Amino acid sequence: MNSLAKLLEAALFASARPIPTDDLATLDSDASPAAVHAALEELREHYNVDGHGVELVEQGGGWQILTRPEYTEAIERAQLAARPHRLSGAALETLAIIAYRQPIGRAEIAEIRGVDVGAILKSLLERGLVEVTARGEGLGRPLLYGTTPLFLEQFALRHLEELPRVDELTIALRPQAAAAGASHLNAAEEAAAPEPAASAA
């Protein structure tokens, strides 16, 4: 590997979070954006070709060195890596609504889910999966919520465009929904559905 690839590798190894390409570029002021991209590809190829137990992955708005999926279970079984706490079904439904409808206010989320979401929103905010992104134009200018880079990281997404399409979501959730009364499916489908067109006055 060239010296730039080695420098990027050292920075990525030292970081517990994905590092954006622009931040990696600041490590060497003489390196052009093209050179940084080439070095990242060289590093990724190095891990792939030489059969390493880790890989370079682009996710969460940046780059990160991660354990290969085939070794994750053994490492977790040996309790050698921290495992994030699982989200409840209600939290996942709320997170899906925010991901597909952002920016969105608490009242609209509650209307879609049919229940109050204050406690779940607080939990998602504390976990760093959602954040306040703006204020609405309605009465009282309510807070509007959106997802964070950590959300992308946790769900192995490079950007929001990689979220499943509505038809993919329906197929994936249909078996569970049949057993659970279709509640999760309906909420997720409603979250992903486009806004209805305004009727003419």
pLDDT digits (tens, 9 = 90+) for 75-96: 777 766 555 567 888 898 999 9
Give the model's confidence band at 73: pLDDT under 50 very low, under 70 low, under 90 confident, else very high: confident
User: For 166-181, how does the pLDDT look when each residue is reduced to its tens digit (9 = 90+)?
Assistant: 666 554 444 444 444 4
Residue type, 93: E
Q: Tell me, what's the pLDDT at 88?
A: 84
**103 contacts 146 by C-beta, under 8 angstroms:** yes
User: For 146-156, how does the pLDDT look when each residue is reduced to its tens digit (9 = 90+)?
Assistant: 999 889 888 87
Q: Tell me, what's the pLDDT at 53?
A: 92
Give the model's confidence band at 182: pLDDT under 50 very low, under 70 low, under 90 confident, else very high: very low
User: For 8-23, how does the pLDDT look when each residue is reduced to its tens digit (9 = 90+)?
Assistant: 999 999 888 899 999 9
Q: Is the pLDDT of residue 184 over 50?
A: no
- R_g of the chain, CA atoms, integer Å: 20
Q: Can you tell me the distance from the alpha carbon of 169 to that of 176, in angstroms, rounded to the nearest whole number? A: 12
SS3 per residue for the chain: CCHHHHHHHHHHHHCCCCECHHHHHCCCCCCCHHHHHHHHHHHHHHHHHCCCCEEEEEECCEEEEEECHHHHHHHHHCCCCCCCCCCCHHHHHHHHHHHHHCCEEHHHHHHHHCCCCHHHHHHHHHHCCEEEEEECCCCCCCEEEEECHHHHHHCCCCCHHHCCCHHHHHHHHHHHHHHCCCHHHHHHHHHHCCCCCCCCC
pTM (predicted TM-score): 0.54
Q: Tell me, what's the pLDDT at 108?
A: 92
Q: Is the pLDDT of residue 201 over 50?
A: no
Q: Tell me, what's the pLDDT at 60?
A: 83
Q: Can you tell me the distance from the alpha carbon of 144 to that of 133, in angstroms, rounded to the nearest whole number? A: 6
Class of domain 89-192: mainly alpha
Q: Tell me, what's the pLDDT at 192?
A: 56
Q: Tell me, what's the pLDDT at 176?
A: 42
Q: Can you tell me the distance from the alpha carbon of 176 to that of 181, in angstroms, rounded to the nearest whole number? A: 9
> Is 1.10.10.10 the CATH number for 3-77?
yes
Q: Can you tell me the distance from the alpha carbon of 10 to that of 39, in angstroms, rounded to the nearest whole number? A: 13
Domain ranges of the chain: 3-77, 89-192
Q: Tell me, what's the pLDDT at 188?
A: 52
Same topology, domains 3-77 and 89-192? Answer is yes
User: For 99-151, how does the pLDDT look when each residue is reduced to its tens digit (9 = 90+)?
Assistant: 999 999 999 999 998 999 999 999 999 999 999 999 988 788 899 999 998 89
Q: Can you tell me the distance from the alpha carbon of 92 to that of 130, in angstroms, rounded to the nearest whole number? A: 12
| Neighbouring residues of 189: CB distance < 8 A, sequence distance ≥ 6 | 166, 169, 170, 173
Q: Tell me, what's the pLDDT at 27?
A: 93
